[in-house]
Amino acid sequence: MTTGKQWSSQSAIDYYAQHRHEVADIYPSETVFLPRILFPGAKVLDVGCASGGFFNIMRSYEPAVEYTGIDLSATAVEMARARYPEATFVLNEGFTLPFEDNAFDLVHCTSVFNNEPNYQAILKEMYRVSNRFALADIRLLKGIGNQISTTYNIQFEADGIENTVPYVVNDADDVVNFILQLDPKPKALRGTGYFHTVAKEAGTDSEICMTILLLEKGNATGGQTVFDLGDLPIEFSAT
Ligand SMILES: C[S@@+](CC[C@H](N)C(=O)[O-])C[C@H]1O[C@@H](n2cnc3c(N)ncnc32)[C@H](O)[C@@H]1O
């Protein structure tokens, strides 16, 4: 996993203080599901919230969201609390979420699984504490067996400090199979994304599918999960 120390480096803190607080800052793929699944009074948990930018983004879509953010960086949590005192921020590493089962309507997580080899542990916790939706981005490729995990140096706005974190790409079918064995079996799995060239640190020459997955918790009708992955430029064997 990455550590609070890595994400508390001055350049990372400064970057997330200045970026990704407005709808205009986020990727078009990140706007596909989010505005459709928020509703007045929705209880939202944001895993890896940095300085709380997605609170501001979510309330641009739906002013009455009840937002909680967690992050493993104490500096990020302090900054988020100072900037958005009307939201709740908790210092937590994502692997054991300090919340009851089904506590949130939406559990959201962006730009975490690309640096976290054990995405399964976090996704399982996200699903447990959600009563309806879990929304996360993840980088996928077909036929890589399980996972490619290399390392690279995160340097935000060139402060010259070495700060190496994992760079993680997961096998597309492996991820879907993992999701299908969550309990309860998801009612639906939707996805959107696009292929994008990544720098050599990804450990592959291929373009990588930058993917957003929306899991809908509930009882799969007749034990069958509804798949809506047609927008993704990947053929899944598991579906
Ligand atoms: C790349 S930033 C993304 C911030 C924000 N989610 C976004 O998309 O703009 C990753 C953030 O997630 C936090 N983080 C990484 N792994 C985490 C984990 N396992 N649990 C909680 N926070 C984590 C880092 O401290 C950092 O603030």
Domains of the chain: 4-228 (3.40.50.150)
Q: Pairing state of beta strands 104-109 and 130-141?
A: parallel
Burial class (CB in 10 A: 0-12, 13-18, 19+), 221: exposed
Q: How far is the CA of 127 from the centre of ligand 1 (A)?
A: 17
pLDDT, tens digit only, all 239 positions of the chain: 778 788 888 888 888 999 999 999 999 999 999 999 999 999 999 999 999 999 999 999 999 999 999 999 999 999 999 999 999 999 999 999 999 999 999 999 999 999 999 999 999 999 999 999 999 999 999 999 889 888 877 766 555 566 788 889 999 999 999 999 999 999 999 999 999 988 666 666 679 999 999 999 987 677 899 999 999 999 998 76
β-partners of residue 152 are 165
In DSSP notation, 26-77 reads S-GGGGSSHHHH--TT-EEEEET-TTTHHHHHHHHH-TT-EEEEEES-HHHH
Q: What are phi and psi of 144, to 5 degrees?
A: -105, 10
Strands 43-47 and 66-71: parallel
Best substitution site from 14, 46, 112 to test ligand 1's pocket, by max atoms within 8 Å of Cβ? 112
Ligand 1 pocket member 69 (CB < 6 A): no
* Residue 78: alpha-carbon gap to chain centroid: 21
Task: Yes or no: say if 119 and 113 are a contact pair by the CB < 8 Å rule.
Answer: yes
Residue nearest atom 2 in ligand 1 by C-alpha distance: 111
Cα of 113 from ligand 1 centre, angstroms: 9
Strands 88-91 and 104-109: unpaired
Q: Which atom of ligand 1 is nearest to the CA of 76?
A: 27
Read off the amino acid at residue 22. Answer: E
Is 48 close to ligand 1, i.e. is its CB under 6 Å away? Answer: yes
**Residue of 6, 22, 111 best suited for mutating to test ligand 1, as the one with most atoms within 8 Å of CB:** 111
Query: Residue 20: CB within 6 Å of ligand 1?
Result: yes
The DSSP H or E segment spanning 81 is helix 74-83
